[in-house]
A = this chain, B = another copy of it.
């Protein structure tokens, strides 16, 4: 552990060069793995750098003909604990591959509480000229970032995107996930089921389609209904009311994610319908919410760490061309909310 003697500004490449008695360029070479540097000089430089506590300035590096080793991870928002797992797994894989990462949030909540692109963050990211981009979660207005995705290899994780120029979309295999759920419910002897999907997001649409397919496959036919609700509890309540007034209450409700499921449970219970007594409920994502004993929600674990590492993998492989869609196989976590008993 050595201290750098100059108390004011951080040392620059020039300071190191002077200390080592070599030129700037040589220092740069050493720090960028240049092969053709004499062992002696290399040592001198490294030693001087250590002595001074020199760290290359990333901003300068990026300005000067973009460095190709920093990957930006754009997180949809700071709310969703889900994303944290994906991000850390992706980062771990990237670091392993010798890449630097910059993790920034893509959206902020404006005054109305709705998410909007964080233009400041995006602008800085753009100017940093990252070598790659991983977008985690559904980002509203992601299409506006076309100038980025067109230039920079981009992978979308845990979201869907139609943009032609993303290297890969890595997400949970909704078909398998919903099949697991429907099969489980069928096993419990359920005969009428309903799906409560979300807002207009593509993920929601995909899960809805997956539900319809799974329901058909398991012979539910007309006994499978679909309702929509955004993620607010108020809206879940509305959707449930809808379901209730349509006559018969389904014996099970499949929510597109855990948050919606909790809204559904709340709405059902507020209406005097007990869960799982009178109606089973399942979620998707297997967030920590699902595991809380009082909630004990059967949910689909999408294996977020695998999604994250697969996204990183896809990006690293992007040199070899488009990867396309990577579907990560989920597994069902059965809890109290789906045991009629």
Q: Which A residues have a C-beta under 8 Å from some C-beta of B? A: 10, 55, 57-60, 62-63, 70, 75, 77-81, 83-85, 87-88, 91-92, 100-105, 108-111, 118, 120-121, 123-124, 127-129, 147, 262, 265-266, 269-270, 289, 292-295
Contact = CB atoms under 8 A, between A and B. Distances in A.
A88 B104 contact: no
30 contacts: A10-B147, A57-B127, A58-B123, A59-B62, A59-B127, A59-B129, A75-B78, A75-B105, A78-B84, A78-B87, A78-B103, A85-B109, A88-B108, A91-B108, A92-B110, A101-B118, A102-B120, A102-B121, A103-B104, A103-B105, A103-B108, A104-B104, A104-B105, A105-B105, A262-B292, A265-B293, A265-B294, A266-B292, A270-B293, A289-B292
A101 B77 contact: no
B109 A58 contact: no
A84 B107 CA distance: 10
A270 to B, nearest CB: 7
B128 A59 contact: yes
Contacts of A129: 59
A126 to B, nearest CB: 8
Number of copies: 2
A123 B62 CA distance: 13
Contacts of A91: 108, 118
Contacts of A294: 262, 265-266, 269, 294-295
A282 to B, nearest CB: 16
Contacts of A101: 118, 120-121
A312 to B, nearest CB: 13
A137 to B, nearest CB: 11
Nearest to A296: B294
A80 B110 CA distance: 18
Contacts of A57: 63, 127
Given A102-B124, A108-B103, A124-B128, A79 B81 contact: yes
Contacts of A80: 78
Contacts of A79: 81, 84
A222 to B, nearest CB: 32
A101 B119 CA distance: 9
